[in-house]
Copies of this chain bind each other. A is one copy, B any other.
């Protein structure tokens, strides 16, 4: 069983969207469950509006349904404190910290990374503006220069995510061509995560 925890050191960083789409990726590769620990219950609502290709469980029922799964995605409450982050990291195989590519996000991200020390985590740059904007690449360089492990793949901004949330499905299942890149991005991320686990 591989446990992947997605957490945010601030709100508005596509935390639940990221957990949902990584779960979608792994649901093709093994029995997958998403544990919704965010008090907003974004993932549970998403699933209730439509159909997701994996089980979504309320964290208060997680113990009962966790066994037998190959992949467990945990969507945590937003804004944990640094002690929470450390404990969350100990409880999973990989901790993912989505961050948006703006200068305001850099400072808290650096602080978070300091708190995490040598934990098994990766930053993920999300809601990246389309070319010719270079904000995504600039953010990645800043993080890398500061010694923060960051995923090579980034997730581009896409209207597909809103449509997917509205319909209660993954962007993969949106027929709108504008959603195509959104799913390609999470697929590439999924492959990269598999690499982190040494599955490739």
- A contact residues vs B (CB 8 Å cutoff): 1, 3, 35, 58, 60-64, 66-67, 72, 74, 84, 87-88, 90-92
Contact = CB atoms under 8 A, between A and B. Distances in A.
Count identical subunits in the complex.
2
Contacts of A3: 63-64
A67 B64 contact: no
Given A66-B66, A66-B67, A91 B1 contact: no
Nearest to A57: B91
27 contacts: A1-B67, A3-B63, A3-B64, A35-B63, A58-B87, A58-B90, A58-B91, A60-B84, A60-B90, A60-B91, A61-B87, A61-B90, A61-B91, A62-B62, A62-B63, A62-B91, A63-B66, A63-B72, A63-B74, A63-B91, A63-B92, A64-B90, A64-B91, A64-B92, A66-B66, A66-B67, A67-B67
Nearest to A92: B64
A72 to B, nearest CB: 6
A56 B144 CA distance: 37
